[in-house]
Amino acid sequence: MERKKQHFNFGETYDALPNPRRRFMFKSALLLPAAVSLGACEPQQSSSSTSPTGSSGSASPPKNSHTPRYFNAEEWAFLRAAVAVLIPNDDNGPGALELDVPVFIDRQMESEFGHAARWYMQGPFRSASPLFGYQSRLTPREVYRLGIAATNEHCRQLEGKDFAALPFAVQDAVLHQLDEGALRFESVDAKSFFDFLRANTIEGYLADPIHGGNKGAASWKMIGFPGARADFLEFVGQNKPYPYGPVGISGEES
């Protein structure tokens, strides 16, 4: 499918995407606090290839040379499968797996975000409105570890396989259950786990490539975002495509 290059406007650009999942995920990004989980700016590591997987998950996923810093092999397989369901590779553009979103999330687990280093993490821990801030005693990295283990155990009980080994449609159904709060885990709140997973997937897909995701600034190219360029203001309000490729914080032009 021929992709029409568009001028950058959050609402208009996302509305123009025909895939409803992709529109939902991108619009969700507008609700995320700015730089909510971006850690230290490190040079991006070479990792996955850009070979497509297809939204059905039927083709082999791209090979990955990234060695996870935090996640073990079972957790890494879950993460790669989950982000591919949340933002699949399709005719609109590359998916989260192709853009190294798992690499972004893995690196965040070793950042201040993963350790909740700047959050108030003292008790009491009570159920409360999100307006009162984060209420769990668990750091994000602990939420991921416990959430992945609990989800895999749920999948093994129902299907006899870990999440990563299930068909795409079943994986999608499990993530919907997490999102809707239909699953109950003893070790971690399933909804909180999914909220972290969804938010970090969106961040890794749209963040500056210096943080490990958005490989080749491919998502920026797809929506026409100029990135860290300092000379695009003259094009604002002209309602026409920005003619130059995006530039990351590192100064590399894509």
> Over the stretch 58-110, which tens digit does the pLDDT of each residue have?
344 555 678 999 999 999 999 999 999 999 999 889 999 999 999 999 999 99
Task: Determine, yes or no, domain membership for 107.
Answer: yes
150 with 199, same domain: the answer is yes
pTM of whole model > 0.85?
A: no
Task: Determine, yes or no, domain membership for 73.
Answer: no
202 with 226, same domain: the answer is no
Task: Determine, yes or no, domain membership for 84.
Answer: no
Task: Determine, yes or no, domain membership for 46.
Answer: no
- Compute the residue count for the chain: 254
Nearest Cα neighbor of 218 from 78, 31, 48, 33 is 48
User: How far, in whole angstroms, is CA 95 from its chain's centroid?
Assistant: 10
pLDDT in tens, 2-58: 333 344 444 455 455 556 666 656 556 555 554 344 444 444 443 443 333 333 443
Domain of 243? Answer: 1-32+217-247
Report yes or no: 142 and 134 within 8 Å, Cβ to Cβ.
no
200 with 228, same domain: the answer is no
150 with 188, same domain: the answer is yes
